[in-house]
Structure 1
Amino acid sequence: MKGLFKYCFLPLLFLSGFVKAQQDSSFVFLKSVKGDIVDFAVDNMDNLYLFNSTDQLKKISAGGDSVAVFNDVRKFGKVSYADVSNPLRVLLYFRNFSTIVILDRLLNIRSTIDLRKQNIFQVQAIGLSYDNNIWLYDELDNKLKKIDETGKLLLETPDFRQLFDDVPSPQRIYDEDGLVYLYDKQKAIYVFDYYGSLRNKILITGWDNFKVVGRSVLGTTGNSMNRYRIDLFRIYDEQMPDAVRGFKKVEFTPTKFYALKENEIEVYRFQ
């Protein structure tokens, strides 16, 4: 299968043109969650994953109940990125230790992957795949790779230096609706299929809080929330109300907007 992935890589490039549209504000305040919160993530069932100032991870249900706590964070250092796209399989990436920890729904450790033992030494972006394996971008090999929970290499693309004049360095990877999205804030969004063929290059740059949700790409620039409809080739810019501004980080689900402020997360519904 690894060979199939390599030789099926036929780079087809479609530069997506898009139209910009302005929307009226549609943010409706729902609730706030307060506490010692320095970072967070949210899954598609609206469970919150809260990191406090001691790096403890706590899972809170959509109803506000405490579900589980993970206290072994300091064993691996500070979490660089958490992928909670599947509530049953949470990925924690510790970049300083080149280690990925896989947790179950109750935040028990399922598996630990030391990427250095797989001869992978420099990774910025990881993401859960549709089949519960892991996508990552190896910055030394300049390849998109797929590994299983033991670290075994399943798939890899050719060297990106052979494919692009200006090699991307993605900060985020999302597997959504049969496609893999690599986001380089300085260059573009690179869209691949599961065989490694480049399907699209979306000329969007400079977005913070980037996330792919269904058929939409979401992000922020300043005090605007941006949404790119993949099927319509259209960008919607929406000014956030004053109450939402001043956030440290935001997260999105299909219908909700989560804004982290000082020791507080505000939850809004948006359309």
Structure 2
Amino acid sequence: MINKFFFFILLFNLNCVISQQDSYSWEKVNSYKINSGETWAVDLLENIYISNGEMIHKYDSIGTRIFSQSIKSLGNATTIIPINTMKLLHFSEEQQTLCYFDNTLSFLDDCIDLSLEGIISAELICTSNQPNKVWLVDNLNLTLHLLSLNNKQQSQVVRNLRGVLDINNITQILERENKLFLLDITKGIYVLDLYASLIEFIDQKNILHIDVNEATIFTLSDTNLFVKNYFTGEQLSIDLPIGGIFELKYKNDFFYFRVNENVYKYRLQLYK
């Protein structure tokens, strides 16, 4: 149940607030099969993208598979990111390449070889609101790259993250609202500005995954979803609907939870 905090908190763009008196339930909307070790993504239209070995599949918001594409020549997908509803980014750690698809999963342009940009061991990636730029993390050398994809703007590199920020190992990276969030499961969340300067450190260990929506940070533990108001620091704890969740995404008032071989789409129902 929701912890008994005596406050009201705005929650993820819903036109309501949760207080200590509220109750809630989870409603499962859909589920999608995914193999262990594969990756997935959700776009703003609630389309789901799932890699399956040598293929990427696209499902619409009601779960119908609408497009598929072979990625055999690109290597396994480490990360797939919808840049917008018309363009998808494919990152392969194995090949150290970035490749693009359109909204029908047709190939766009040539792939970008990261080794030609001086990057040889990128592990994590996220897109930036800055045009034609992506963030990349090299955990081997604990280096953060802001890479310009059109070579018309200067790229940026922050080296020695352990020495600069006391980071051990980055397990997730995302940019939201002109802030960069780095998750270190052993320490917490590092919040940086777009120049990679530290704004805030959120001391919360053993976080499995995070998502950020405007003023709200969602953090996932083994058994709970924590919802924190970024400006006030106040936080709610909500029981998860199922066990084994290790990734979460939030889109359009829906929560998407990843377990070993499924992605579940849930709606959080609130009762006054």
Please give the range of the TM-score, normalised by the shorter of the 2 chains.
Answer: 0.7 to 0.9
How far, CA to CA, are the matches of 1:128 and 1:82 in structure 2? 10
* Structure 1 residue 262 displacement after superposition: 6.9
**Structure 2 residues not aligned, in runs of 5+:** 6-19
Match of 1:189 in 2: 189
Match of 2:198 in 1: 198
CA contact (8 A) 1:146 1:153 kept: no
How far, CA to CA, are the matches of 2:161 and 2:247 in structure 1? 33
TM-score by length of 2: 0.77
TM-score by length of 1: 0.77
Runs of 4+ in 1 over 6 A off after TM superposition: none
- What is the 5 A alignment of 1:1-271? 21=5, 24-33=23-32, 35=33, 38=36, 39=38, 40-52=40-52, 54-72=53-71, 74-84=72-82, 86-110=84-108, 111-130=110-129, 131-139=131-139, 142-149=142-149, 154-161=154-161, 164=164, 166-241=166-241, 244-247=242-245, 249-260=247-258, 264-270=262-268
* Structure 1 residue 270 displacement after superposition: 1.8
* Structure 1 residue 69 displacement after superposition: 1.7
* Structure 1 residue 162 displacement after superposition: 8.4
Q: For 1:26, what is the secondary structure of its paired residue? A: strand
Q: Provide, for residues 231-258 of structure 1, a one-character-per-residue CA deviation record: whole Å limited to 9, x for no partner.
A: 22122211123xx334465433251122
Distance 1:260 1:196, change over 3 A: closer
* Structure 1 residue 128 displacement after superposition: 0.5
- How many equivalent pairs are there? 248
Structure with higher helix content: 1
CA contact (8 A) 1:89 1:132 kept: no
How far, CA to CA, are the matches of 2:137 and 2:60 in structure 1? 31
| AA of the residue aligned to 1:176 | R
CA contact (8 A) 1:225 1:237 kept: yes
* Structure 1 residue 183 displacement after superposition: 1.6
* Structure 1 residue 269 displacement after superposition: 0.6
* Structure 1 residue 70 displacement after superposition: 2.0
CA contact (8 A) 1:115 1:151 kept: no
* Structure 1 residue 260 displacement after superposition: 4.1
**Structure 1 residues not aligned, in runs of 5+:** 1-18
* Structure 1 residue 89 displacement after superposition: 2.9
| AA of the residue aligned to 1:171 | T
| AA of the residue aligned to 2:239 | Q
Distance 1:157 1:246, change over 3 A: closer
CA RMSD of aligned residues (A): 3.0
Worse overlay, 56-65 or 84-93? 84-93
Q: For 1:57, what is the secondary structure of its paired residue? A: strand
Identity %: 21
